[in-house]
């Protein structure tokens, strides 16, 4: 007797999702609670587990289809089933040895079948042999980031040799130009709508400042080993910025407020949204009551968010709310940007890369590690004076971290 698999409850106010990929194909053996499909919602990817052990039946929906909560998506039949994918023919399997790995396209075996579409595309573009990559995703699955890291030489012993002429694809005709159409994920569609809505609704303005990172870098260098030994997490820069932002938000409450109709809602707490890179796009989990946390607690929370964003284990409720956002484009090399607010929030702080620049100190030109700060805000609520005051308070705390300790 077949067991129906239906779209599970996805969270408060979320009624539908998009089928991102099938993790099990018809005829394959399935264990109880083993993920068989991935659904994309407005905020995160959700894996659908099998309710029973058995054999994967027919898919009732296709990748890219929109499905509602409670809709039938597949069936699980009774039986033992077949392996996840048939092994490659013997001659081809023997041809793949450590000396020749990466010289040809991977055989049609277990690993290619388990790769998501975005990962398969990255494998084809980079020429990396997926069998040499250790996956960092859930259950050891390979992510797009794993492939890109391997392509940069981080995840493999040596760069893959160029394909032999026989294995190389036919060259494109002279002057030929190709296009590829890829359906936008539900998350990307939502990001696009929210960002455009922010531009259409808020009176956006960005104010800049810069900050000397010397003191924070020195503190981090001096205490990073003891910090990691005691707290089990690395001491980064975000812990300092989150705490400094919380202090500045108390000094300038409007930056931590939001407009609701014809009212202004002020918050006596700081729930800080932090932008985190995930395989399916940028996600923004929230550090609840960050103003009540220590630097170590902030760093632990951010580290946990980063790991679970990669594995797709972030929960939707962890990305709801937030009174202020910090986005660190500096990790990707950004020198300066004008970030867009995350509605209904009224402001977002953009951090950027640290670089040595000449500055004047006590009448002398010296070289210091400097970072540009950008505060984008809703000018309907936040005046320029308040934006500048916030940035100066943040700058003072970062340039003299003792202020964070004594709340000055």
Structure tokens at 293: 């946390």
Return the H-helix or E-strand segment holding 222.
helix 214-231
CA nearest 233: which of 304, 322, 160, 177?
304
Alpha-carbon dihedral 132, 137, 142, 148, rounded to 10 degrees: -90
- Residue 76 contacts residue 52 (beta carbons within 8 Å): yes
Task: Decide if 383 is catalytic.
Answer: yes
The DSSP string of 19-83 is EEEESS-TTBEE-TT-EEEEEE-SS-EEEEEPSSSEEEEEESS-TT-EEETT-EEEEEESS--B-
Distance CA 338, CA 401 (A): 26
Structure tokens at 100: 């020749």
- Residue 166 contacts residue 260 (beta carbons within 8 Å): no
Distance CA 303, CA 239 (A): 11
210, 304, 379, 400: the active-site residue: 379
356, 383, 400, 407: the active-site residue: 383
- Residue 246 contacts residue 256 (beta carbons within 8 Å): no
User: Which of the residues are catalytic?
Assistant: 379, 383
């Amino acid at each position: 007797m077949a067991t129906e698999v239906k779209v599970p409850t996805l969270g408060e106010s979320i009624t539908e999702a998009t089928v991102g990929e099938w993790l099990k194909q018809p005829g394959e053996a399935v264990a109880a609670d083993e993920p068989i499909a991935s659904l994309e919602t407005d905020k995160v990817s959700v894996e659908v587990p099998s309710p029973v052990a058995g054999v994967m039946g027919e898919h009732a929906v296709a990748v890219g289809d929109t499905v509602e909560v409670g809709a039938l998506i597949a069936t699980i039949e009774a039986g033992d089933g077949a392996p996840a994918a048939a092994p490659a023919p013997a001659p081809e399997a023997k041809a793949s040895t450590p000396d020749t790995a990466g010289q040809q396209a991977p055989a049609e075996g277990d690993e290619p079948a388990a790769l998501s579409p975005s990962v398969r595309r990255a494998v084809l573009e980079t020429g990396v042999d997926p069998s040499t990559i250790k996956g960092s995703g859930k259950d050891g699955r390979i992510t797009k980031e794993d492939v890109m890291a391997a392509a940069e030489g981080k995840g493999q012993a040596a760069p893959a040799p160029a394909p032999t002429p026989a294995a190389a694809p036919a060259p494109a005709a002279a002057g030929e130009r190709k296009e590829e159409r890829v359906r936008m994920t539900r998350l990307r569609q939502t990001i696009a709508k929210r960002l455009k809505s922010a531009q259409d609704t808020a009176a956006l303005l960005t104010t800049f400042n810069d900050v000397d990172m010397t003191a924070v870098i020195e503190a981090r260098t001096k205490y990073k080993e003891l910090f990691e030994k005691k707290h089990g997490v690395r001491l980064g820069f975000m812990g300092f910025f989150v705490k400094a932002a919380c202090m500045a938000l108390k000094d300038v409450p409007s930056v931590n407020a939001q407009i609701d109709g014809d009212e202004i809602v002020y918050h006596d707490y700081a729930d800080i949204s932090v932008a985190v890179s995930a395989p399916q796009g940028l996600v923004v989990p929230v550090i609840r009551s960050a103003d009540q946390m220590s630097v170590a607690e902030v760093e632990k929370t951010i580290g946990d968010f980063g790991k679970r964003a990669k594995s797709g284990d972030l929960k939707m409720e962890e990305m709801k709310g937030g009174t202020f956002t910090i986005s660190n484009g500096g990790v990707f090399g950004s020198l300066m940007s004008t970030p867009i607010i995350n509605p209904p929030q009224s402001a977002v702080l953009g951090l950027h890369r640290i670089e040595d620049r000449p500055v004047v100190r006590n009448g002398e030109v010296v070289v210091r590690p400097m970072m540009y700060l950008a505060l984008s805000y809703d000018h309907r609520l936040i005046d320029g004076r308040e934006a500048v005051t916030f940035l100066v308070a943040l700058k003072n705390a970062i340039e003299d971290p003792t202020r964070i300790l004594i709340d000055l």
